[in-house]
Structure 1
Amino acid sequence: MTRTPSTSVASNQTGTVTPAAARRAAARRRAKLDLSALVVGADESSWTDEEMDEVLADLGRQRERITRVIADLEHEIAGLMKDAGDGAGHDQADVGATTLERDHDITLVSTERGLLEQIDRALEHIDEGTYGVCDSCGGAIGKMRLMAFPRATLCMSCKQREERR
């Protein structure tokens, strides 16, 4: 089960995030922030309201898209599970194809949930005022890196070290 932060993006009755709700949540989140206290690289300027709005909007859009993808895949998996034993005409090839498709969808759901957790963790870091701090070494991730990849939790040197392993 995916853990959702207490300050998650607002949603409507169907569970989808509306653009207006996402903007309100981003504005509330930014209003609580002291942008000058967020860590930036040595050669970078402090975060501006516009830059943080852009990051929050990007994270909100990504979160909304991933939530929709997960819901669609889970619905498809449920259908595959339900139809797995239906009908007398299923031969081994049909069963194998259904199993392969189901396994593929389960893998995709797992990957998307991982991305959702990364987004939620980034939003938690923003709320806590620790956005931009490397989870590994405690150094600055860098504002430009975060603007390009808002879910980043590692600075470039720690990320490169992790990928070499």
Structure 2
Amino acid sequence: MEELEKYTEEEEELSEFEPNLDQKPKLFIEKEYRPKKNGKNDKEVIFWKDTFAHCTHPTKEDRISSWPEKPKKYREVIGKYSEGVRKTRLKVLELMCEGLGLQKDHFAYELSQIKYLLINLYPKCPDPTVTAGAVEHTDGGFINMLLQELGELHVRRQKNGQWFAVEPIPSALVCINGMLLKVRI
């Protein structure tokens, strides 16, 4: 926690993740009460999540030097991991292009190259009956790759609006289409 405090800004309001290419690593803390989205339920939900985020591509030396120094090998491990995820992501985009009958490099432009690392922590909440780690949302970007450890991810099918649980597969990445991909197609 002491190390994470270096990446928290003193703010009057709780912060929400807002991607910014030049953004230095930051801890976004979302612990607040808000009414449910549909407004029909008089109960409030607590969004109880900490997100540590930073840009990992395009890689620049000054960006890497802003990454945490602790744990000792963070920069080395995250650098290698991020590059592997980037290569996988680009390959998935190529395969999607092939499946859609597009040229292999259809998505190979600047916006498809930007990549962030987000690490979510869902700390214990004093009242878990009204806790939501994340609410219904649409992910930005082209493709979001999620390393899922717990079975709490739910995705809604676009065709029929039905929600289904995504069961985690150890060491597998879940690929989720982002809004930029939907807009671009």
Answer 1 or 2: which has greater strand percent.
Answer: 2
Q: Look at both structures and tell me which one has the larger radius of gyration over its CA atoms.
A: 1
User: Does TM, scored on the shorter chain, surpass 0.5?
Assistant: no
Answer 1 or 2: which has greater helix percent.
Answer: 1
RCO (CA 8 Å, sep 6+): is it higher in 1 or 2? 1
Scaled by the length of structure 1, the TM-score of the pair is 0.29
